[in-house]
Amino acid sequence: MKKSNSYDVLFSLLLLLVFLLCSMFTILIGSRVYENIRANNNASFYSDTAVSYVTNKVRQADRAGSVEVREIDGCSVLVLSSSTNGLQCETWIYTLNGVLKELYAEKDSGLTVEDGLDIMECTSLDFTLQETTNQLTIHLETEPSDITARLLLRSEPKGGVES
């Protein structure tokens, strides 16, 4: 009778140990899944926010001849021109060293891409403006896939009706 009782206790302890090990592995696997989901959500947030930021800036500045793309110091720069109290100003939007930057200054002020204000972390942002279709393409390189937004500008590239 004592042998059977000790086997029952040993079996119960082994069963408890197996249950505890399975529970521990389930918790570890779940925490890794949670970390991956959180990392993907953060990456998605930053990339979506960067594209939305640029898109809204373009929509605000969409007037005749006010949107152009330039190559400045090796950076693809979106240039949004405006006139404030008769003063010609430009807003430059670009990425430099993994950071989305914006520079608002008087036209031909002598400022460089190094002088822009940091907006947010952003890997690589590239702009293309097709003059024939008046379409601005915003391309953001991210992991695991790139994001591309295409905007048809309301205004004419050069001249046209002011809006």
Q: Within a domain: residue 130?
A: yes
Tell me: do 54 and 91 sit in the same domain: yes
Q: What is the pLDDT of residue 23?
A: 94
**Does residue 87 sit in helix, strand or coil?**
strand
Q: What is the pLDDT of residue 159?
A: 46
Tell me: do 118 and 90 sit in the same domain: yes
Mean pLDDT of the chain: 86
- Give the predicted TM-score (pTM) of the model: 0.72
What Rg value do the Cα atoms of the chain yield, rounded?
Answer: 28
Tell me: do 27 and 63 sit in the same domain: no
Number of domains in the chain: 2
Tell me: do 103 and 60 sit in the same domain: yes
Between 34 and 160, the more confident residue is: 34
Tell me: do 27 and 77 sit in the same domain: no
List the domain range (segments joined by +) for residue 85.
Answer: 42-152
Question: Over the stretch 5-53, which tens digit does the pLDDT of each residue have?
Answer: 788 888 899 999 999 999 999 999 999 999 988 887 777 777 788 888 9
